[in-house]
Structure 1
């Protein structure tokens, strides 16, 4: 893409609004849609993520070039996946049994959670990223390019071009992007796995992702 992509964020919680602030600051047009149960969403977003535009899920899906899904994992089924044909979709969710409860079909499924979500619409270009750091770290750890202390974030997905687009966004957000290859390699980024929650350099994160094909087997 020659122009900066329009970013849509599903989820106006702490993760979604932190990302919205960073993306607006980096010069992107940002659309955000929240839960129907969130009242006065325009006021909330105006205070915590000024510059982001509140819109409906339908308009977001039709307008955004890149869509970040940042709702609680248990609410993933409420997202309009069928509207994501051809869109780059960043799965920033994590399956947290203490929050979501144990979901038997997830526990028994050998696929990564992003592969499960990707199957909701095979025509979407799903990428896993932005899930293996805390929302508070997104702004606290953001650094200018070239900083020797810059933290790395992984990008995995089966679409090479989609990974490249998301990697560019990661760089703009203030992190070193690391291409982790296929979507199944995202197991290394999930809770309880090597990269989750750790402050790593690009070299350190790449080393953890190298054997991810074996972890995903």
Structure 2
């Protein structure tokens, strides 16, 4: 299994900051970039995530074993697809109308957001996780393995080895991974689903997934696919 020592985060918003805090607490080296100059975000990083390094996108990618996309979904194409070539990339993004605008201008309605991210970054390996839990829960609910109050995160991707690496990473970050080896299954965690915004135990999360087709969101997805 690929060893991860250096974590790179593209995006210094609320989710990016919380994930940087969790990664530092787990013992990883962390680099993080944001919109604008390095100097612009350095003070924020030094204050909120002391120990992380504010960097350019290029420096984040060059010095990281795994990359987390934690930017507004409507901006992922602002990143040159070649920048993430041969990288293992976690898609922690979601479509959100207040930030991203009209959905049809951001996403093709025929596939999930992560499938479209994978298509754009076609030389990278995309795994979806960290997207369905609110940043407050990510920050407050991380627990050591074996803790009875530990919560779970859905992990989806097409590359089995990559998914296993990310699942282990999720575990070290304080959450039980629930694995699906199909990137399109990330639809189960997108806004509108019963999982979106939920902070659940592994058993409870699996129960929602197992009954997805019977949920209102699942029925709508099934109808749209027919």
Distance 1:139 1:44 in 2: 17
CA distance in 1, matches of 2:107, 2:80: 23
1:17-96 alignment runs, 5 A limit = 17-36=17-36, 40-96=40-96
**Separation of aligned partners in 1, 2:43 and 2:105:** 38
Q: TM-score, normalised by structure 2?
A: 0.88
Please state whether the residue corresponding to 2:89 is helix, strand or coil: strand
Is the 1:62–1:83 Cα contact (8 Å) retained in structure 2? no
Structure number with the higher helix fraction is 2
- Aligned-pair distance for 1:38? 7.4
- How far, CA to CA, are the matches of 1:2 and 1:105 in structure 2? 37
- Aligned pairs (5 A) from 1:1-217: 1=1, 3-36=3-36, 40-106=40-106, 108-210=108-210, 215=221
- Structure 1, unmatched stretches of 5+, are none
Quote the offset at 1:211 in angstroms. 6.0
- 1:68 touches 1:90 (CA, 8 Å); kept in 2? yes
CA contact (8 A) 2:38 2:55 kept: no
Structure 2: runs of 5 or more not aligned: none
Q: How many residues align?
A: 217
Would the aligned equivalents of 1:185 and 1:212 in 2 still touch at CA under 8 Å? no
Q: Distance in 2 between matches of 1:163 and 1:148?
A: 24
**Do the aligned residues in 1 keep the contact of 2:107 with 2:113 (CA within 8 Å)?**
no
Is the contact made by 1:88 and 1:126 (CA closer than 8 Å) also made in structure 2? yes
Question: What secondary structure sits across from 1:171 in the alignment?
Answer: helix
2: CA distance, partners of 1:27 / 1:162: 21
The alignment partner of 1:89 has SS state of strand
Deviations 1:150-176 (A, max 9, x none): 110010001111111111111111111
Cα distance between partner residues in 2 of 1:30 and 1:211: 37
- CA separation in 1, counterparts of 2:38 and 2:53? 15
Separation in 1, partners of 2:158, 2:2: 22
The C-alpha deviation readout for 1:18-41, integer Å capped at 9, x for no partner, is 111110111001111110167531
The CA deviation string for residues 29-83 of structure 1, in whole angstroms up to 9 with x for no partner, is 1111110167531111010011111111112122211100001112111123322
Instruction: Provide the rounded CA distance (Å) in 2 between the counterparts of 1:82 and 1:156.
Output: 23
**What whole-Å deviation, never above 9, does each CA across 1:170-206 have from its counterpart, x for those lacking one?**
1111111110220000000100012111122212222
Out of 100-109 and 119-128, give the one that drifted further: 100-109
Q: CA deviation at 1:105?
A: 4.2
